Structure 1
Amino acid sequence: MRRILFLLFVTGFLFSCSDYQKVLKNEDVKAKYEMAEKLYDEGDFKRANRLLAQIAPQYVGKPQGERVMFFLADSYYQIGDYNFAGYQFERFLKSYPKSDKASQAAFLGAKSYYELSPAYSLDQTDTDKALVKLQSFINTYPESEYLEEANAMARELTTKKERKEFEIAKQFTKLGKSYILEYNISAIAALDNFVSDNPGSVFREEAMYLKVVASTNLAMNSTVQKKKERLLAAKAAYQNLIKNYPDTRFAKEANKLAEDIESELAQVQKQENLSK
């Protein structure tokens, strides 16, 4: 029985492929449309896509044009060709802005660019584009069933962009431990910019702690003329961390740096007193 069922399946599949190839090579647009719709409904998006791409130009301005264009865009999305999917969903929305499928098309178009967003360490052009599309969708369709997912994707991409900016500042801090003062100066500037530009970031607490680290490194290795001023700046960075995060997870390390700062300040004050 299993063998018979298998043979029937293979035979049916071969006939299906044969029919598909005939329609694909045929000039009959209606036959291609019917086959494409059948394949699309069955989830065979790859073969449906080939047919839809052939007939879409011939349905422009026709009653079935809206349906064909949406199926074409969605078939690109379903087979993972997100560049073409994003482009085709944009075309669909321009052609049919009042379509019942407009909300879904806007969401899937934005999601196509979301899928193209690379790792945080790479160029984030596609991430920027995805965020623009997602924000446009959120603003245009605030009651959409896709709103929660769109917000989640936007948060994820925002965090990815923040991480890239944060990792650059973090790298300067690491390099600053080599006692090259310029790295610490760059780290402090980068961390200040990060905290200012990303007030709700998940990396904000660590950024404020790293400023204490970079400020302390800078102060401890500064000339006598600049040491006191920079130690006071490091102390202020520590106090700012504790003010914003009283139970910071970096308390142990930050408190140790604060002790070092106070100890060094005492030495500086002692030297000042002796020189008077």
Structure 2
Amino acid sequence: MKRIFQFSLVGLILLVSSCASKYSKVLNSKDNEYRIKMANKYYEEKKYAHAQELYQELFPYLRGTPRHEDAFYKFAYSAYYLKDYQSASLAYQTFMENFPNSSLVPNASYMQAYCLFLSSPKAELDQTATHKAMGLLKAFVNNYPKSEKAAEAQKLIGQCNQKLEEKEYLSAQLYYDLGYFKASHLYFDLLLSDYPASAKADQYMFMIAKSSYEYAKVSIPSAQQERYEQTVEDCTNFLGQFPDSQFKDKATQMKSDAEQQLAKFKKLQNEQTQKTS
């Protein structure tokens, strides 16, 4: 069995070497027509890395000919199939710049945006690609509203929005978790302003109130009264807008606690007034 495995391994190595040698001959061939034929063959066989390299080598030869458009289009799709999405997006953009009158431009426009969407990282990372993808998807829908891909583009725009919302939420929540309650109050307020129709709008508004409550608790005594007043205002706004929220009881308790603290401040102020009068 061990010997059979060794023979199989040797055979595999020889096969790979043979394929590599054959491709090297194609790549280095001086016969451009032969290389075009082989590039298309590799593309049809889904050997996209070989096809992509050959197409790129052939662009100077094909430039200005009718076959240049087809080769460039397949070059872009090769990058897409290889999951090199950023390169693919750039290739589709370049295709549209080089062939603005092509019937393939609408699809290239969608694919440029779609590849950027696919290259978008997790929500906690930089979302430059997501912003750009969403802008391109919106432009595609505006330019080609009757395209069969318009509905799919709208879905992708929605997913981009969700990821950008999640990014803002993670930033606001991080400030809260680190104890920067004034900053978290601001960031949750901005988050709610940016996504007022969000399914999590009640959570964001609750966190605004919770941030002001925690901020008041850790403030110096001379600043606490004003900040507990802010808590009462935030809780009142929350309970008025989301009376059936799952956070209702917690918000009610925070409001009650803040009002009790304000009552203590008022009592103390009255006592001090009586002493001085």
Query: 1:233 aligns to what?
Result: 230
User: CA 1:206 to 1:57, structure 2 compared with 1: closer, same or farther past 3 Å?
Assistant: farther
Distance 2:262 2:72 in 1: 71
Matched, 1:117 2:86: no
Query: 2:170 aligns to what?
Result: 167
CA deviation map 1:118-147 (0-9, x unaligned) = 122222222232222222222222222222
Matched, 1:147 2:144: no
Q: Bigger shift: 240-249 or 74-83?
A: 240-249
What is the letter of the counterpart of residue 33 of structure 1? I
Gaps of at least 5 residues in structure 1 are 1-9, 177-182
What is the letter of the counterpart of residue 51 of structure 1? L
Query: 1:7 aligns to what?
Result: none
CA deviation map 1:195-231 (0-9, x unaligned) = 2233334443322111111111222344454333322
Distance 2:146 2:53 in 1: 34
Q: Of the candidates 208, 212, 219, which is equivalent to residue 209 of structure 2?
A: 212
Query: 1:256 aligns to what?
Result: 253
Distance 2:95 2:161 in 1: 27
Query: 1:267 aligns to what?
Result: 264
Query: 2:3 aligns to what?
Result: none
Distance 2:139 2:163 in 1: 19
Distance 2:22 2:181 in 1: 69
Gaps of at least 5 residues in structure 2 are 1-11
Query: 2:34 aligns to what?
Result: 31
Query: 1:186 aligns to what?
Result: 183
Query: 2:4 aligns to what?
Result: none
Q: Of the candidates 170, 194, 197, which is equivalent to residue 197 of structure 1?
A: 194
User: CA 1:245 to 1:13, structure 2 compared with 1: closer, same or farther past 3 Å?
Assistant: same
Query: 2:104 aligns to what?
Result: 101
CA deviation map 1:46-87 (0-9, x unaligned) = 222122121122212211111111011111111112222111
Distance 2:240 2:69 in 1: 58
Deviation at 1:156, TM superposition (A): 2.1
Deviation at 1:113, TM superposition (A): 1.4
> Matched residue pairs, number?
262
Matched, 1:134 2:137: yes
Distance 1:212 1:223 in 2: 19
Distance 1:13 1:229 in 2: 75
Q: How does 1:61-80 map to 2 (within 5 A)?
A: 61-80=64-83
TM-score of the superposition, structure 1-length normalised? 0.83
Distance 2:197 2:32 in 1: 54
Kept after mapping to 2: 8 A contact 1:173/1:214: yes
Kept after mapping to 2: 8 A contact 1:45/1:75: yes
* RMSD between aligned residues: 2.7
Q: Secondary structure at the match of 2:51?
A: helix
Distance 1:160 1:147 in 2: 20
What is the letter of the counterpart of residue 236 of structure 2? Q
Kept after mapping to 2: 8 A contact 1:76/1:82: yes
User: CA 1:224 to 1:17, structure 2 compared with 1: closer, same or farther past 3 Å?
Assistant: closer
Kept after mapping to 2: 8 A contact 1:173/1:213: no
Deviation at 1:160, TM superposition (A): 2.0
What is the letter of the counterpart of residue 203 of structure 2? E
Q: Secondary structure at the match of 1:70?
A: helix
TM-score of the superposition, structure 2-length normalised? 0.83
Distance 2:168 2:188 in 1: 9
